[in-house]
Amino acid sequence: MILCLIAVSCCLLAVEATVDLKNLSLLEIPQNISSDTKQLILVSNNISIVRNDALGYLPFLARLELGRNRISAIEDHAFRGTNLKMLQVQYNKLKWFPNLADVKHTIRLVYIEGNQLKFLRAEQIEGLDALEKLVLNRNKIYSLPDFSVLPALKWVEMYKIDMQCCNKILSLKSDLRLNASILGINPKPCTYPQDLVRLNWWNITKTQIDTPCPEKWFFFWPRPFLPKPVKREITPEEFQCPICRKMLKEAAIIRCCGYSFCDECIRDALHCLTSRRRNSTTECYTMRRPPRFRAPHLAV
């Protein structure tokens, strides 16, 4: 009987420690969650940004699931005040690796699959002493850091990523490969250097990738086709027709106002003004009164 009561109480505590708010069309992280929460599930909502201290009132929070939202930005101190050990932000719109400095001694698992990351720099992951698993699948990363800056890293996944096979990733062939329990990677991931492009990753030696990385990605990444810009000639204002805004053609001057027009433009304009008003005489296009007379503009 006593054992049954203990088991029931443990289950109740586990339920209280987990808050499941998936598929509720939430636009932001709620601020009325119990402070005892250890696991927060916010999968499949409409959250677009995680603000600073949005989770600061959850000191025991260890697992945060934000997959399949619309998150495009995570502010630098979004996780401050938590005890975060696992972060899931799969299939969002992140272009930058989140700043985990506030949880650098506790974070162990990071899932950032299916985002829009284009690079991962050493300063973005440096200091994450407890990080054991990093999942980067299905991003557009073209440049990777030296993973040896992560002393506890044992599991790396980089499927569907084409990368530079150069000296920045030597740790994938040496230190990390010896310690890692899993290294997930495309069979032929190299886009640089050219002689490694079609080689299987497991057949590439440490010596072959011990080459300097290119300073800029577009040295090896195909450039998109961009049409040549069209040069437009700018007509000086004094040679511009006020009606068509183009170069004066067979210029004519109206003596009542002194303006110059294309002969065809001013004829059409005067005709339109006359036809719109019954029993009315022709009016000057600019002065709105009968023009004195029209004459060729000999200076143009």
Residues 28 and 161 in one domain: yes
Could you say which of 219, 246, 265 is where a domain stops? 219
Is residue 94 within 8 Å of 111, Cβ to Cβ? no
Q: Residue 24 domain-assigned?
A: yes
Which CATH number do you get for residue 286? 3.30.40.10
The reply to whether 8 falls in a domain is no
Residue 229 lies in a domain: no
For residue 178, what pLDDT is reported?
44
Whether 207 is in a domain gets the answer yes
Residues 171, 36 share a domain = yes
Which of residues 219, 250, 265 is at a domain's end? 219
Please calculate the CA angle 138-78-109 and round it to the nearest 5 degrees. 45
**In a domain? residue 231:** no
Q: How many Å apart are CA 122 and CA 248, to the nearest integer?
A: 62
pLDDT at site 252? 79
175 and 253 together in one domain: no
User: Could you list the residue range(s) of the whole structural domain that residue 261 is in?
Assistant: 237-296
Into how many domains does the chain fold? 2
- pTM for the complete prediction? 0.63
Verify that 205 and 269 share a domain, yes or no: no
CA distance 157 to 161: 10
> Do residue 64 and residue 205 come from a single domain?
yes
Indicate which CATH number applies to the domain containing 210: 3.80.10.10
Task: Evaluate whether residue 281 is within a structural domain.
Answer: yes
Residue 204 lies in a domain: yes
Residues 106 and 255 in one domain: no
Place of tokens 């945060």: 64
pLDDT of residue 8: 35
User: With contact defined as beta carbons under 8 Å apart, do 117 and 145 qualify?
Assistant: no
Same-domain status, 65 and 182: yes
The pLDDT value recorded for residue 290 is 54
**Is 48 found in the same domain as 108?**
yes
Question: Do 256 and 210 belong to one domain?
Answer: no
Task: State which residues of the chain have pLDDT below 50.
Answer: 1-15, 175, 177-179, 217-225, 278-281, 293, 298
Residues 154 and 279 in one domain: no
pLDDT on residue 70: 95
The model's pLDDT over 78-134, given as tens digits with 9 standing for 90+, comes to 999 999 999 999 999 999 999 999 999 999 999 999 999 988 888 999 999 999 999
Q: Does residue 25 sit in the same domain as residue 138?
A: yes
Identify whether residues 155 and 207 lie together within a single domain.
yes
Residue 161 has a pLDDT of 85
pLDDT at 180: 52
Examine residue 163 and state whether it is found in any structural domain, yes or no. yes
